[in-house]
Structures are given as structure tokens and as C-alpha cells.
């Protein structure tokens, strides 16, 4: 089993986590969002091969965080709390 590094609790088994999506996919703001932009937010993903930054939630503590992970070999290079640009605050 793979260990994921929660920035709040430390390393934990991967079964304690849930994938939240790619980092930087911010929800469009406002009621005047076009159907194309909304569809892009919901469905269009880069899906890069190799290193990427993803949003995860640690189900035990309930905290969301960003994790840097390689999609080819699944190696995790780190995790951090979310910045304003990543969670839309």
C-alpha cells in the first residue's frame, strides 16, 4: 500500500484519501457563465503524463490539500496546504 503525505497529519495509507481533481481548476464565478465555460470547468482536463499537482482530501481529518505526484510511476514528491489560487478563496 502506498503512503500519502497529509500536510496536517503526516504520512498515512492511501485508503484514507480521496482524489479531488487537478489543482488550478477553479469554479467559474458569477451567474453569467456561458454553457461552454461551465462545460469546460466540469469536463475538460489536461490529464498530463508525468509530474502534476492534484487536490486531495484526507478523509480522516477532513482537510483538503495539494499533492505533487507523477502520473506515470505514482511517486509522490510532496504535499502542501492550499493557496488562495488553488481553492478559490
Instruction: Kindly state whether residue 74 falls inside one of the protein's structural domains.
Output: yes
Instruction: Kindly state whether residue 89 falls inside one of the protein's structural domains.
Output: no
Phi, psi of 86 (to 5 degrees): -100, -20
Instruction: Kindly state whether residue 88 falls inside one of the protein's structural domains.
Output: no
Residue-by-residue pLDDT tens, the chain, 89 positions: 899 999 999 999 999 999 998 898 888 887 889 999 999 888 988 888 999 999 999 999 999 999 999 999 999 999 999 976 555 44
CATH number at residue 59: 3.30.2270.10
Total structural domains within the chain: 1
Domain that holds residue 49: 3-81
For the record, the C-alpha cell of 85 comes out as 489560487
Phi-psi region for residue 20, left (φ > 0), alpha (ψ -120 to 50) or beta? alpha
CB 50 within 8 A of CB 70: yes
Of the candidates 56, 45, 39, 49, the one whose C-alpha atom is nearest the C-alpha of residue 70 is 49
Amino acid at each position: 500500500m502506498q503512503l500519502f503525505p497529509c500536510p496536517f497529519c503526516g504520512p498515512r495509507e492511501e485508503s484514507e484519501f480521496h482524489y479531488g481533481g487537478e489543482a488550478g481548476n477553479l469554479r467559474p464565478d458569477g451567474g453569467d457563465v456561458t454553457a461552454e465555460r461551465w462545460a469546460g470547468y466540469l469536463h475538460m482536463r489536461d490529464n498530463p503524463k508525468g509530474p502534476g499537482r492534484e487536490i486531495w482530501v484526507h478523509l480522516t481529518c477532513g482537510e483538503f490539500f495539494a499533492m505533487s505526484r507523477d502520473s506515470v510511476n505514482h511517486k509522490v514528491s510532496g504535499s502542501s496546504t492550499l493557496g488562495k489560487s488553488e481553492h478559490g478563496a
